[in-house]
A and B are shown apart, each in its own frame.
Chain A
Amino acid sequence: MAYSEKLMDHFHNPRNVGTLDKSKKTVGTGLVGAPECGDVMRLQIEVDDLTQTIVDAKFKTFGCGSAIASSSLATEWLKGKNINEAMGIDNMAIVEELALPPVKIHCSVLAEDAIKAAIKDYQSKNNI
C-alpha cells in the first residue's frame, strides 16, 4: 500500500508524542480502541481554564501507520483551538489531509473519537 508523503512524515516524525499528567484538573484524557482490534489511541489535552483554549496536546498510539499519523495530526490541529472548535473536528478532514485509503478510514474515526473523549473527560472533571 502506498501512503501519502504527509502520512509518512507524520509516521516517521510523529508530533507531540508523550504523556500529560492525567491527575491535573486542566488535563483531559481520551483512551479509545482495543488491543484486540489492533488500535489503541490515547490523546490528551491541556486546557486553559479562562479561555477554554487547548494549550497543549500529546498522544501515544498502538496501531498501524495510519493510526499513528492520524493521532499525530490530531494533536497538531488541537493546539490553539478552543474546545468547542475542537469538538467540531471531523474525521473526513483527517482522511483528506493524509489521503487515507478506504481500508484505513477507521483510523481517522478513532482519532475523532479520541478527541471527543479527551474533551469530554476535561469537561466532566470541571463540571462543564
Chain B
Amino acid sequence: MEAKKLIYLDNNATTPCDPRVVEAMLPYFTTHFGNAASRNHPFGWAAEEGVDYAREQVAQLIGADSKEIIFTSGATEAINLALKGAFEMYRKKGNHIITAKTEHKAVLDTCKKLETMGAEVTYLDVQPDGLIDLAQLEAAITKKTILVSIMWANNETGVIQPMAEISKICEKHGALLMSDITQAAGKVPVDVKKMGIHLAAFTAHKMYGPKGVGALFVNRIKPRVKVTAQMDGGGHERGMRSGTMNVPGIVGFGKAAELASREMQRDAERLSKLRDKLQKAFGEILEEVVVNGNQEHRMPHVTNISFKHVEGEGLMMTFNQKIALSSGSACTSASLEPSYVLVALGLGDDLAHSSLRFSLGRFTTEEDIDQTIAAVSAGVNHMRDLSPIWEMYKEGIDLSNVQWSEH
C-alpha cells in the first residue's frame, strides 16, 4: 500500500471508531472483563457499572429513559426484535403492518418473513423526492393495523421523513410507531419521546462507535410497549434479549453517543457546508448531473447524485484506488438489480445505474472534498468519452426512442 491517504466518503456504510471511543473501551477487555450478569463479585459489578453508564449515555442521545434501552448486536437485530417481537405480542389485536418501499432490507425482509407468519403488510410508495405521502399512510391504516415502521432518514439518499406528522397519524389511529433511526441517531437531533415513537432501532458503528452493538428503544410509559423475545436464554435485558452483554462494545456505544450528543451540531454544520460545496461543484463542472431525493429534508452529510450516461461501478473504478464511496448501480451487487430505493423514487433504472452516494463524516476534511471533486469530475469526463449513449445524447438523439436490445 502507498502511504498516500485514502479518502473515505462511505460513512453511511460504516464510520471509523473515534479514538476516544476505543480508549473508553480498552479497560473492559482486560481489567473490567467481568460478565455484567455476575451479580455477586466485583468483576461483575464493574462490568455492570460500565453497561449502566453506557445505557444512560445512549438513552440521553435519543431522549429516552435508560430503562427503555435494550442492547443488541446491531440495528438489524434490533429491527428484527421490534417487528417480530411486536407482531407476536400484539397479533391478537391485529395483523396489519405498514412500512415503505424505501426502508432498509432489515425492515423489508423481516416484513416479508412476517407475511409468511400471517401478517398483512402494506409497502407504501414514496414521492419522487423520497418522502412518504401522509394521506396515503393514513388511508392505509385499518382497524387491524398494529404497527407502522418508517425510517427516520434513508441510508441511500439521506432523505428525512416527517416523523412528527407520521406520529400524529399513528396516535390518532392507535397504531404503534417503530422507526429505524440508524442513519439519524448521532447525526441529527432525535428525540423519540417528543416525536411519539414507540420502538426505535439503531447501532453504534454508524456514529463512530464499534461494530457488533446496537440498541432497541422500547417505550415504557404511555403506552407500555412490550416485544416478545426472539432469542431464548438467560433473560437479560428485562427478558427481551438474552445473551451475555458485549460489555466493551456497549461501553464504546455509550461513549460514541455521548460524543455525538456534544459534537453533533458542530459536525453537522461543518459537513453540510462541505457536502454543499461538493454538490455545487459537480453542478458547475459537469453537465447532466441530477441530485436524487429531497434536498431540504435531508441529512447534512449525504448527497446522492446521478451522473447521466455513465455507469456507477465503472465510474468508481476510475478513482477507487484513492476514494471510497458507494454506487446505486447494479454492478456493485451480486443481484444485478439497481438500487431499489432510487427506483422507488421513480428514477429510471438508467439513472439508478448512474448514481453515486457521497456520505461524509467527522473525519472528512475540506482537502478530501477538493480532491474528490477533481477525481470524480475527471472520472465522469473519462467515462463519458467512452460512453456511446453520451455520444448519442450529444448528437441530440432521444434515448427513450432508441430500440435497445434488452439482455
* Contacts from A to B (Cβ < 8 Å): 11, 14, 17, 19, 31-42, 60-68, 103, 106, 109-110, 113
> Which residues of chain B are near A63, meaning CB under 8 Å?
311, 314, 331
Asked if A60 and B391 sit within 8 Å, CB to CB, the answer is yes
Nearest 10 pairs between A and B by C-beta? A34-B404, A35-B350, A42-B388, A36-B349, A64-B331, A60-B388, A64-B313, A38-B353, A65-B317, A62-B387
Listed A/B pairs (27) with beta-carbon separation below 8 Å: A17-B385, A19-B391, A31-B405, A32-B405, A33-B404, A33-B405, A34-B407, A35-B389, A36-B350, A36-B353, A38-B336, A38-B338, A38-B349, A40-B389, A60-B387, A62-B309, A62-B311, A62-B314, A63-B311, A65-B313, A65-B314, A67-B311, A67-B314, A68-B314, A103-B334, A106-B336, A113-B407
Q: Which residues of B contact A (CB under 8 A)?
A: 309-311, 313-314, 317, 329-331, 334, 336, 338, 348-350, 353, 385-391, 399, 404-407
Contact of A61 among B334, B388, B399, B407 (CB under 8 A): B388
Closest residue of B by beta carbon distance from A32: B405
Decide if A38 touches B407 in the complex (CB within 8 Å). Answer: no
Do the beta carbons of B388 and A64 come within 8 Å of each other? no
Point out the residues of chain B lying under 8 angstroms from A36, CB to CB. 348-350, 353, 404, 406
**A109 vs B388: C-alpha distance when bound (angstroms):** 18
Of all chain A residues, the one with the shortest Cβ separation from B348 is A36
CB-based nearest A residue for B335: A103
B-chain residues with CB within 8 Å of residue A40 when the two chains form the complex: 387-389, 404
CB neighbours of B313 from chain A (8 A): 64-65
Q: Do A109 and B314 touch (CB < 8 A)?
A: no
Q: What's the least CB distance linking B330 to chain A, in Å? A: 5
Complex CA gap A65/B379 in Å reads 12
From A11, A35, A65, B404 is in contact (CB under 8 Å) with A35
Q: A11-B317, A38-B311 are in contact. Are A62 and B390 (CB under 8 A)?
A: yes
From known contacts A19-B391, A62-B390, infer whether A37 and B311 are also in contact, taking CB-CB under 8 Å: no
Q: How far is the CA of A62 from the CA of B392 in the complex (A)?
A: 11
Partner of B386, one of A17, A32, A39, A113: A17
Question: Which A residues touch B386, using CB under 8 A?
Answer: 14, 17, 60-62, 68
* Chain B: CB-nearest residue to A107: B331
Beyond A32-B407, A36-B348, A64-B329, list 10 extra A-B contacts (CB 8 Å): A17-B386, A33-B407, A34-B404, A35-B348, A36-B404, A38-B330, A38-B331, A62-B388, A63-B314, A63-B331
B406 touches A37 (CB 8 A): yes
Residues of B within 8 A of A64 (CB): 311, 313-314, 317, 329, 331
**In whole angstroms, how far apart are the Cα atoms of A124 and B405 in the complex?**
18
Query: Chain A CB within 10 Å — which of B317, B387, B406 has the most?
Result: B317
Q: Give bound CA distance, A48 to B226, whole Å.
A: 78
Q: In the complex the two chains form, what is the Cα distance from A103 to B405 in whole Å?
A: 20
- Chain B residues near A110 (CB-CB < 8 A): 407
Shortest Cβ gap from A4 to chain B (Å): 13
CA distance in complex: A56, B116 (Å): 58
Cα A106 to Cα B336 in complex, Å, equals: 10
The one of A11, A17, A66, A106 that contacts B407, using a Cβ cutoff of 8 Å: A106
